[in-house]
């Protein structure tokens, strides 16, 4: 991995179905942001590989893949993007989506990523999120979203293992964004918090940092 470690990063955080992937994908089209979704990476794994088999086995139950496997996949994929110059550490703020998913992963990522901000996409209607995930399963042919019982298990795992991540990081870097508005409204709120982080960590020559 490059000598610029740890990489400045922001977490796009929230319950399953909150819109993390949608906002991350939109933001990735804006210069200065590099979206990294663990779910997308996992779905691209060769199902015949050992890593692919393990991830699919846990995903099928709505549970988290083992931490060591998750972080190794993350490191390998990020390094491949850096080598291919798609991820440019001197220009890009990493947007982490779906990782870290528990406290141990926070510890393991500490030497890799310096988390500057957490955008917490909030929604207090769990049934609305489950309905959104069902629609996504049909529209995107996502088999991991097709089972309602598995989806409900994912929410249990989120509450038990992932939600405590918010207590791991300093509270002053957490910004809550209501995720049930139209995409443009949510994007505007996300950018309001992300742009200052981008400017302070990647100042353009000849322009003030603040």
Tens-digit pLDDT profile for residues 114-145? 999 999 999 887 777 777 787 776 666 666 66
Give residue-wise pLDDT tens across range 165-192.
Answer: 999 999 999 999 999 889 999 999 999 9
Which residue in 149, 183, 176, 197 sits closest to 15, CA to CA?
A: 176
**What is the distance between the alpha carbons of residues 121 and 146, in angstroms, rounded to a whole number?**
23
Q: What are the structural domains, with CATH classification, of the chain? A: 7-201 (3.40.50.300)
**What is the distance between the alpha carbons of residues 162 and 155, in angstroms, rounded to a whole number?**
10
């Amino acid at each position: 991995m490059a000598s610029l470690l740890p990489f400045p990063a922001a977490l796009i955080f929230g319950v399953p179905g909150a819109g993390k992937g949608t906002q991350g994908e939109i933001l990735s089209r804006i210069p200065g942001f590099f979206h990294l979704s663990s779910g997308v990476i996992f779905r691209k794994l060769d199902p015949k590989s050992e890593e692919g088999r393990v991830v699919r086995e846990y995903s099928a139950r709505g549970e988290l893949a083992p931490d060591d496997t998750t972080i190794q996949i993350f490191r390998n994929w990020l390094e491949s993007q850096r080598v291919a110059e798609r991820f440019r550490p001197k220009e890009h703020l990493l947007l982490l989506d779906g990782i870290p998913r528990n406290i141990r992963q926070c510890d393991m990522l500490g030497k890799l990523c310096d988390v500057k901000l957490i955008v917490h996409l909030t929604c207090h209607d769990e049934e609305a999120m489950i309905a959104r995930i069902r629609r996504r399963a049909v529209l995107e042919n996502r088999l991991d979203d097709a089972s309602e019982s598995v989806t409900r298990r994912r929410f249990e795992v989120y509450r038990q293992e992932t939600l405590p991540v918010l207590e791991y990081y300093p509270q002053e870097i957490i910004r809550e964004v209501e995720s049930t508005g139209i995409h443009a409204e949510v994007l505007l709120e996300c950018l309001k918090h992300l742009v200052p982080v981008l400017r302070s960590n990647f100042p353009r020559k000849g322009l003030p940092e603040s």
